């Protein structure tokens, strides 16, 4: 399920990402990325690189995780709950999906504190 706090212009890409349509998610986010700066640019760039990593792994058979590690550079300086997304969970889910076929990571919200 996509985070309800996600920026509206990122939602379509998030839906594609969760459905395993990683190249299409990458394409959906690229236009947004071109208009961002600062932390927001790092956030969107990280999402694009995660999608590219998954696409290369499962559509091209690449076992290299270069794009995943590039994404970590962009996402690493951001708070764990940046943009309404639980980045720690996203990183874990993508890493698992790079190693086990059939998994579908999603841009999930941070759990609410009660």
pLDDT (tens digit per residue) in 53-110 = 999 999 888 888 999 999 999 999 899 999 999 999 999 999 999 999 999 999 988 6
The answer, yes or no, to whether residue 23 has pLDDT greater than 90, is yes
Give the Cα separation of 102 and 37 in Å (integer): 34
What's the pLDDT score for residue 64? 83
What's the pLDDT score for residue 113? 45
| pTM of the shown model | 0.92
What's the pLDDT score for residue 112? 58
Spans of all domains in the chain: 8-99
Q: Is the dihedral of CA 82, 78, 69, 93 positive or negative?
A: negative
| CATH match for 8-99 among 3.40.1350.10, 1.10.3450.10, 1.10.8.50, 3.50.50.60 | 1.10.3450.10
């Amino acid at each position: 399920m996509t985070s309800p706090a996600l920026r509206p212009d990122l939602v379509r890409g998030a839906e594609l990402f969760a459905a395993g349509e990683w190249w299409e998610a990458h394409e959906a986010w690229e236009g947004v990325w071109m208009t961002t700066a600062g932390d927001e640019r790092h956030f969107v760039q990280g999402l694009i690189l995660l999608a590219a990593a998954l696409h290369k792994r499962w559509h091209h058979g690449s076992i290299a995780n270069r794009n995943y590690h590039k994404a970590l550079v962009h996402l690493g300086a951001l708070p764990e709950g940046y943009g309404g997304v639980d980045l720690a969970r996203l990183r874990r889910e993508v890493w698992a999906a790079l190693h086990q076929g059939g998994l579908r990571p999603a841009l999930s919200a941070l759990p609410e504190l009660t």
